[in-house]
């Protein structure tokens, strides 16, 4: 069973748990990495894609952790520097203009492109590199009107299928569709040999007429596109790895200025981490939260959260991500300010739109799902404590909330222990006539991991009694997974 | 899995649960039925026999239930009515006098016996009946001095062993030894063929010079005597059934008056029930309790009760027994008075020698073991509620305590449910770093039985929501015993 590496003192700006092994963007419930915001959209509880703050924060923490653990290395090559790299659409009646110059102020070599706007036009394009370990395409551009677009062409090797990924300024109110097939329903792609399919992502119209940096993971975009066709089942979720596709070309249409430095990279960890942190800063509400725009019901709809609910797990993850962003970009105070503002909801009761429950009216708990009565999900609470501790060195209020949470954990932890495994939440305590919601083994493993994690924090704090309690409890829980049982009387 | 018969309305003076199937006096931890008090003495937590109020109340409730369920039938025969039934010791130098007369006032036929006091003298005796279904010997007598005694002779058929049971006024401060071998250690009885062993029980010197009714179950007395020899293991506990022994004779020594109406009976249920109720009345302390005179430790001595502790289970059982005694003997107010006085400790905190714990400072619980911190044993609490309800029709305070207990039960019941079984107590909640103390299956069965029992009470009270809650929880728990598990997430 996985446990955190034994590193003390605990580093609040280190990799986040084992999130570097995550691949949020490959989850079946992620519709796509949005072309406007560069963060994932979820379809977990609603078929219409929406922004799920926990998922976005996890995406950011994952890429932060990968970035740290790869020691910020990123193999990349630069394309399009030479004018001759830029091709015009072949054999078509429309004209494609390419104008090359060097900007006096920035010193950048720039190409101005003017091409027929229609998606059937290949526009002005360069060939991408065949190196299979470089699936990220990045460039600096200025689309000069809303009819501008760019297209990445990739080839799915096994299916011999050409895939066009079109990135457009589409007016579906903020890119709500995330990614869609251009030809309607293309449910049955895989058997189609020597074919071609076309998908679109929408971009943020606010960047029109501005210089903007684009970074797309083509592996991810192709996989989410192929997963987005109608009639697909969860088990049809497409996950692609380096070598499954080959990048072919990158083309532009409409009126576009472009720095002649297209990069093809091994990863986009720092970009993705920053995108997630920026999304959080931009989308924090006046309560300091990131509300979830879809209904969430648990316990056979005995507990229902109307759209607009907050989650302690979202607040905690957000704080963990924002405090790391503050560490990387200390000159920009917005991350720290947002992290501090995120503490407010820890003191607002669930009944008032907050995330705070009080067990038996006295033991404070930060609710992943702030239902009434409380549901007391363990893993979400533990993540919220980690968030609070991550900010605690910068904010005394955060330390105070963390310590009150630790006190609650000491008191309520026994209720999750069945002597043979663990319970996911305490819904059965306040809903009458409900069996305990046993944690399946992968959640049991999460409980163990998080408890060991918090044990380590307590050790770093010199709280050795808490360390012993949490560590030994985790050890006992590991025993359960290995078939041990608590003694009976 | 055994559940209570579905009888509503609930009868507070009916048989007590399935206690009519109990045989408290056959338990290995019962040293003997004391010759002075006619109630069991325990060696469960101390090798020196002591009075354990829970055991005494269970003994009383068992016999009350058997008495009711046998519809008060008791087959018996009368012996010793004729003067010629009474023999003198044969072939000895000492003289045995027998003087027969009829008491003018009572009309009783009486024999006055005067015989050599030494136990080696058979004294004046009658032969007992060979009928194997009549193991109880009963008579009315007046021992005229402390050197008087009587002896029952029985034969263990399989071992061809003669067993002498001597009942004497022994000065070991209240019969503390309960029963002992007269020849010291006779550890190795069974192989001894054609032999003879002798045991003594001590009687209450207070009855000297008074008329007193004696009732002994010879099967039980022989079994406890044979189980009391040194060096025996628990697994050597001797349990005898009708047919295992044959009653031979009943003889008297010293100066004794005796009614010429020795009875041999099938059972002594009413006598035993009344003896237990009387013991409770006589031994209730000024707090209304029956304290336990030995130390009790649980959870590897993390929780220790010093001698003198009270138990909610003792209080509850005592109330159940006393309220039944009040029903049978309504003219004698002492039983009802003692039952009411037994309520006092339900309001005294464990920390002050009482039995009341408060979970999280607010949910009242009546403690089988009033440890600090609380241990919240489930079965003892449920028994205490049954006691409170048994008195509730006669006392509003008892009803109030019962209702507060039901409210607590609703709130804490979920904590005992592991989704695959039940937990015996909540020691793990307040002791740090302790695994839950899982209930072994026979205690799980007790939980089910008691919960169904209380469900039935709630149904009778018209509390259908509580009935549903407790009944369905019990049904789910029955499922666990049949291999069902709660769902995991
Ligand atoms: Ca969760
Ligand atoms: Ca018990």
Pick the CATH number of B76-266 from 1.10.10, 2.60.40, 2.60.120, 3.40.190: 2.60.120
Flag whether residue A157 sits within 8 Å of chain B, measured between CB atoms. no
Residues A303/A375, Cβ–Cβ less than 8 Å: yes
Ranking A185-194, A430-439, B438-447, B464-473 by mean pLDDT, the lowest is: A185-194
Angle at B53 between CA B176 and CA B331, to 5 degrees: 110
* Binary contact (A419, B429; C-beta < 8 A): no
Chain B CB contacts of A445 below 8 Å: none
Chain centre to alpha carbon of residue B287: 22
Instruction: Tell me, in angstroms, the distance from the centre of ligand 2 to residue A423's CA.
Output: 26
Please classify residue A132 by burial: count the beta carbons closer than 10 Å to its beta carbon, then call 0-12 exposed, 13-18 middle and 19+ buried: middle
pTM for this model (two decimals): 0.90
Which residues, in sequence order, are CB contacts of B480 under 8 Å at separation 6+? Answer: B419, B420, B421, B422, B444
Flag whether residue B469 sits within 8 Å of chain A, measured between CB atoms. yes
Which residues partner with A245 through β-bridges?
Answer: A156
Q: Look at phi and psi of residue B247 and say left if phi exceeds 0, alpha if psi is from -120 to 50, else beta.
A: beta
* Residue B140: per-residue pLDDT: 97
Query: In whole angstroms, what is the distance from residue A198 CA to residue A189 CA?
Result: 11
Most confident of A392-406, B92-106, B190-204: A392-406
Instruction: Tell me, in angstroms, the distance from the centre of ligand 2 to residue B425's CA.
Output: 10
Residue found by looking up tokens 């060696």 in the block: B43
Indicate whether B93 pLDDT > 70: no
pLDDT digits 0-9 by tens, A229-249: 766 666 678 999 999 999 999
* Residue A90: per-residue pLDDT: 61
User: Which residue among A359, A417, A424 places its CB closest to the CB of B435?
Assistant: A417
Q: Residue A431: closest CA among chain B residues belongs to which residue?
A: B414
Chain centre to alpha carbon of residue B295: 20
Ligand nearest to the CA of A450: 1
* Binary contact (A439, B415; C-beta < 8 A): no
Query: In whole angstroms, what is the distance from residue A81 CA to residue A262 CA?
Result: 8
Instruction: Tell me, in angstroms, the distance from the centre of ligand 2 to residue B321's CA.
Output: 17
Instruction: Tell me, in angstroms, the distance from the centre of ligand 1 to residue B459's CA.
Output: 39
Flag whether residue B419 sits within 8 Å of chain A, measured between CB atoms. yes
| A186, two tokens | 């293309």
Q: Residue B360: closest CA among chain A residues belongs to which residue?
A: A360
Ligand nearest to the CA of B52: 2
Residue B421 is classified by DSSP as S
For residue A6, name the pLDDT band (cuts at 50, 70, 90).
confident
Flag whether residue A480 sits within 8 Å of chain B, measured between CB atoms. no
Query: In whole angstroms, what is the distance from residue A43 CA to residue A150 CA?
Result: 26
Residue A102's CB is within 10 A of a number of other CB atoms, namely: 10
Residue B212 DSSP SS3: strand
Burial letters for B289-328: b for 16+ Cβ neighbours within 10 Å, e otherwise?
A: bbbbebebebbeebbebeeebbbbbbbbbbbbbbbbbbbb
Query: In whole angstroms, what is the distance from residue A434 CA to residue A389 CA?
Result: 34
* Residue B192: per-residue pLDDT: 53
User: Which residue among A418, A443, A489 places its CB closest to the CB of B418?
Assistant: A418
pLDDT digits 0-9 by tens, B286-304: 999 999 999 999 999 999 9
* Binary contact (B435, A429; C-beta < 8 A): no
Indicate whether A381 pLDDT > 50: yes
Q: Residue range A79-107: average pLDDT?
A: 85
Tell me how far CA of residue B427 lies from CA of B291, B353, B370, B386, in angstroms.
22, 19, 11, 23
Residue A422 is classified by DSSP as B
Q: For all residues of chain A together, what is the average pLDDT?
A: 93
DSSP assignment of B248-270 equals: EEEEEEEEEEEES-EEEES--HH
Flag whether residue A472 sits within 8 Å of chain B, measured between CB atoms. yes
pLDDT digits 0-9 by tens, B317-346: 999 999 999 999 999 999 999 999 999 999
Instruction: Tell me, in angstroms, the distance from the centre of ligand 2 to residue A107's CA.
Output: 86
Chain B CB contacts of A434 below 8 Å: 414
Indicate whether A437 pLDDT > 50: yes
Strand pairing report for A149-156 and A40-42: unpaired
* Residue A62: per-residue pLDDT: 98
* Binary contact (B436, A414; C-beta < 8 A): yes
Chain A CB contacts of B360 below 8 Å: 359-360, 362-363
* Residue A175: per-residue pLDDT: 56
Which residues, in sequence order, are CB contacts of A110 under 8 Å at separation 6+? Answer: A100, A101, A102, A103, A257, A258, A259, A260
Q: Which of A410, A421, A433, A440 to mutate to test the interface with B (most CBs of B within 10 A)?
A: A433
Residues B254/B64, Cβ–Cβ less than 8 Å: no
* Binary contact (A438, B488; C-beta < 8 A): yes
pLDDT digits 0-9 by tens, A134-185: 999 999 999 999 999 999 999 999 888 999 999 999 766 555 789 988 876 5
Instruction: Tell me, in angstroms, the distance from the centre of ligand 1 to residue A76's CA.
Output: 36
Q: What percent of chain A has pLDDT over 90?
A: 83
Chain B CB contacts of A415 below 8 Å: 415, 429
Q: Residue B430: closest CA among chain A residues belongs to which residue?
A: A411
Flag whether residue A484 sits within 8 Å of chain B, measured between CB atoms. no
Q: Which long-range contacts (CB under 8 A, 24 or more apart) does A78-81 make?
A: A78/A261, A78/A262, A78/A263, A79/A126, A79/A127, A79/A128, A79/A129, A79/A262, A79/A263, A79/A264, A80/A111, A80/A126, A80/A139, A80/A258, A80/A260, A80/A261, A80/A262, A81/A109, A81/A260, A81/A261
* Residue B91: per-residue pLDDT: 56
Peptide bond into B423 cis (omega under 30): no
Query: In whole angstroms, what is the distance from residue B148 CA to residue B302 CA?
Result: 49
Instruction: Tell me, in angstroms, the distance from the centre of ligand 1 to residue A16's CA.
Output: 16
* Binary contact (A417, B433; C-beta < 8 A): no
Q: For all residues of chain B together, what is the average pLDDT?
A: 93
* Residue A191: per-residue pLDDT: 46
Flag whether residue A433 sits within 8 Å of chain B, measured between CB atoms. yes
Flag whether residue A476 sits within 8 Å of chain B, measured between CB atoms. yes
Instruction: Tell me, in angstroms, the distance from the centre of ligand 2 to residue B402's CA.
Output: 19
Q: Residue range A264-270: average pLDDT?
A: 95
Flag whether residue A299 sits within 8 Å of chain B, measured between CB atoms. no
Q: Which of B406, B431, B436 to mutate to test the interface with A (most CBs of A within 10 A)?
A: B436
Query: In whole angstroms, what is the distance from residue A339 CA to residue A341 CA?
Result: 5
* Residue B372: per-residue pLDDT: 96
Q: What percent of chain B has pLDDT over 90?
A: 83
Q: How far apart are the CA of A429 and the nearest CA of chain B, in angstroms?
A: 5
Phi, psi of B260 (to 5 degrees): -80, 60
Residue A323 DSSP SS3: helix
Chain B CB contacts of A485 below 8 Å: 438
Residue B481 DSSP SS3: helix
Strand pairing report for B161-168 and B196-202: parallel
* Binary contact (A433, B473; C-beta < 8 A): yes
Chain centre to alpha carbon of residue A54: 8
* Residue A91: per-residue pLDDT: 56
* Residue B194: per-residue pLDDT: 58
Q: For chains A and B, count residue pairs whose Cβ atoms are closer than 8 Å.
A: 103
Domain ranges of chain B: 76-266, 271-481
* Residue B302: per-residue pLDDT: 96
* Residue A369: per-residue pLDDT: 98
Strand pairing report for B109-115 and B245-259: antiparallel
Chain B CB contacts of A359 below 8 Å: 360
Please classify residue B235 by burial: count the beta carbons closer than 10 Å to its beta carbon, then call 0-12 exposed, 13-18 middle and 19+ buried: exposed
Pick the CATH number of A271-481 from 1.50.10.20, 3.30.70.3270, 2.30.130.30, 3.30.70.580: 1.50.10.20
* Residue B284: per-residue pLDDT: 98
Judge if ipTM > 0.95. no
Residues A447/B396, Cβ–Cβ less than 8 Å: no
Residues B192/B161, Cβ–Cβ less than 8 Å: yes
Q: How far apart are the CA of B435 and the nearest CA of chain A, in angstroms?
A: 6
Q: Which of A359, A447, A488 to mutate to test the interface with B (most CBs of B within 10 A)?
A: A488
For residue B191, name the pLDDT band (cuts at 50, 70, 90).
very low
Which residues of B, range 97-156, sit inside 8 Å of A by Cβ? none
Phi, psi of A196 (to 5 degrees): -150, 135
Q: Residue range A55-78: average pLDDT?
A: 92
Residue A423 is classified by DSSP as B
Instruction: Tell me, in angstroms, the distance from the centre of ligand 2 to residue B379's CA.
Output: 6
Q: Residue range A315-322: average pLDDT?
A: 98
Query: In whole angstroms, what is the distance from residue B235 CA to residue B221 CA?
Result: 18
Tell me how far CA of residue A381 lies from CA of A118, A425, A454, A480, B455, in angstroms.
51, 10, 11, 22, 35
* Binary contact (A487, B439; C-beta < 8 A): no
Q: How far apart are the CA of B463 and the nearest CA of chain A, in angstroms?
A: 15
* Binary contact (B488, A429; C-beta < 8 A): no
Which residues, in sequence order, are CB contacts of B281 under 8 Å at separation 6+? Answer: B322, B334, B335, B338
Who has greater pLDDT, A389 or B93? A389
Flag whether residue B362 sits within 8 Å of chain A, measured between CB atoms. yes
Indicate whether B416 pLDDT > 90: yes
Instruction: Tell me, in angstroms, the distance from the centre of ligand 2 to residue B180's CA.
Output: 29
Q: Residue B414: closest CA among chain A residues belongs to which residue?
A: A429
Q: Which stretches of B203-244 are assigned E, i.e. beta strand?
A: 212-217
Residue A136's CB is within 10 A of a number of other CB atoms, namely: 22
* Residue A171: per-residue pLDDT: 62
Residues B84/B56, Cβ–Cβ less than 8 Å: no
Indicate whether A7 pLDDT > 70: yes
User: Which residue among A426, A443, A465 places its CB closest to the CB of B489?
Assistant: A443
């Amino acid at each position: 069973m996985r446990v955190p590496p034994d590193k003390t003192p605990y580093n609040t700006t280190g990799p986040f748990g084992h999130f570097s092994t995550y691949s949020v963007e490959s989850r079946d419930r992620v519709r796509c990495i949005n072309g406007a915001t560069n963060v994932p959209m979820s379809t977990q509880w609603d078929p219409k894609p929406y922004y799920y703050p926990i998922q976005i924060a996890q995406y950011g923490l994952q890429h932060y952790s990968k970035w740290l653990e790869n020691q910020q290395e990123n193999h990349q090559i630069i394309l399009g520097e030479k004018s001759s790299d830029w091709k015009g659409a072949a054999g078509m009646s429309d004209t494609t203009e390419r104008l090359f110059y060097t900007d006096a102020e920035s010193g950048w070599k720039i190409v101005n492109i003017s091409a027929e706007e229609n998606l059937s036009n290949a526009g002005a394009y360069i060939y991408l590199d065949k190196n299979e370990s470089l699936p990220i395409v990045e460039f600096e551009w200025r689309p000069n009107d809303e009819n501008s677009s760019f297209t990445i062409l990739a080839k799915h090797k096994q299916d011999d299928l050409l895939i066009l990924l079109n990135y457009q300024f589409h007016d579906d109110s903020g890119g709500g569709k995330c990614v869609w097939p251009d030809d309607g329903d293309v449910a049955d792609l895989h058997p189609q040999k020597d074919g071609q399919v076309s998908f679109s992502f929408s971009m943020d119209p606010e960047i029109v007429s501005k210089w903007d940096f684009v970074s797309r993971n083509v592996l991810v975009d192709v996989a989410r596109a192929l997963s987005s066709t109608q009639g697909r089942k969860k088990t049809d979720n497409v996950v692609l790895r380096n070598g499954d596709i080959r990048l072919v070309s990158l083309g532009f249409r409409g009126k576009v200025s472009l720095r002649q430095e297209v990069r093809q990279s091994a990863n986009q960890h720092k970009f993705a981490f920053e995108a997630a942190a920026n999304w959080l800063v931009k989308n924090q509400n006046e309560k300091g939260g990131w509300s979830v725009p879809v209904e969430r019901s648990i316990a056979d709809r005995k507990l229902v959260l109307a759209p607009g609910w907050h989650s302690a797990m979202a607040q905690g993850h957000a704080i963990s991500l924002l405090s790391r962003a503050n560490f990387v970009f200390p000159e920009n105070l917005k991350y720290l300010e947002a992290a501090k503002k995120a503490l407010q909801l820890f003191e607002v009761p669930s009944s008032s739109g907050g995330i705070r429950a009080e067990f038996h009216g006295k033991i404070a708990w930060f609710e992943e799902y702030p239902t009434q009565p409380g549901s007391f999900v363990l893993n979400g609470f533990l993540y919220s404590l980690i968030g609070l501790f991550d900010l605690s060195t910068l904010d005394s209020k955060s330390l105070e909330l963390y310590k009150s949470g630790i006190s609650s954990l000491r008191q309520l932890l026994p209720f999750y222990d069945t002597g043979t495994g663990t319970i996911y939440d305490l819904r059965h305590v306040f809903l009458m006539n409900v069996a305990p919601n046993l944690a399946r083994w992968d959640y049991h493993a999460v409980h163990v991991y998080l408890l060991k994690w918090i044990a380590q924090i307590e050790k770093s704090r010199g709280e050795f009694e808490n360390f012993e309690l949490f560590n030994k409890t985790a050890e006992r829980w590991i025993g359960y997974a290995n078939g041990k049982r608590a003694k009976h009387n």
